Amino acid sequence: MLLQLYSLVVLTLDLITLLCGIWLSIIVALYRTLRPPPLKQVNGEIAMVVGVGRGVGREIAIQLCQLGVTVACVDKDGDMCESAARQAAKNTGRARAYVCDVTDKEQVQTTVESITEDLGFITMVFHCCAVPSPRVLLEETPEIRKAMELSVISHFWLLESVLPGMERAGRGHIVALSSVAGFSGGSSRSGRVQLSTAQFAVQGFAESLHAEFRQSNSNIVITLVHVYPFIVGAEMAKDIRFRLPSYFGTMPATEAAKKILDGVRRNYAEFSVPGYLLYLGHLLRILPKKASFMLRDLLDTGVDFG
């Protein structure tokens, strides 16, 4: 009897502590929404940016150089990779080009070894090739294996190669860019099931890493960025129907990259571009399915994706 009473008291205290902790975390989160944490300094870091050939990846490489980061520009297209490296290093920055297909494990290992030998241990990784371009979403239906290898499996090859160096350096920051399709699935009517599945997998990958590094008390930070593909590149606006134009406009890749780097420098675990989509995605998850579909219909872009 006494043992049961003791167990009940302990359980009650644990529940009270848990509830207090939850409310405190909610208050802190609300406070941080109104007053974001300061931007950390990244001067002197060595960043590997995967997918610098165009768009946001290229702009991230350029802006990292402007912040004093040494950038390893990685892309499978040699010409575009060299062009991005030259543009990034133009303003007194330090950048080098490395041609690599990140879906090939051996190429990834060789490339990381070359970067470490040339520049030093990699302390930041930006995986920018998981977000499908608007043109791909509108015109193409990617092959299933290719979509999974590029968006998901390549993360494991990168992680396996860069983690030892980050552990030796005593710090690290892994940034995974994902389409907002990681919030809600695409329609098979548009042939986007494989893309949506890959984006959901990226979110699971990031959350699993959070749990693993939290248990090991690692100094490695994980950031998951949800990007709305149609928001980048005003040239795509003519192909898309905006039900709510004042909310779903477009922005140049330069601005999108700046928002991404601001979130990364604040060590956010998860955020979106634009910012309100993170909250919209969470809302879609807690609503009943029918209500969720109704809200998605209201925000329809004319392309059934995300």
- Is the pLDDT assigned to residue 134 strictly greater than 90? no
Check residues 1 and 187 and name the one with the higher pLDDT.
1
- The predicted-structure confidence for 215-270, as pLDDT tens digits, reads as follows 887 889 999 998 876 555 544 444 444 455 445 556 788 888 999 999 999 999 88
How high is the pLDDT of residue 304?
37
Distance of CA 240 to the CA centre of its chain: 24
How high is the pLDDT of residue 131?
61
6 confidence band (pLDDT: 50, 70, 90): confident
53 confidence band (pLDDT: 50, 70, 90): confident
Question: Contact 177/225 with Cβ under 8 angstroms?
Answer: yes
Report helix, strand or coil for 171. Answer: coil
Amino acid letter at 271?
A: F
Cβ-based neighbours of 53, under 8 Å, separated by 6 or more: 75, 76, 77, 80, 81, 84
Separation in Å, CA 132 to CA 48, 128, 147, 242: 20, 10, 9, 19
Mean pLDDT, residues 141-158: 82
Separation in Å, CA 11 to CA 5, 8, 15, 16, 23: 10, 5, 6, 9, 18
Where would I find the H helices in 67-171? 78-89, 105-118, 134-139, 144-148, 154-169
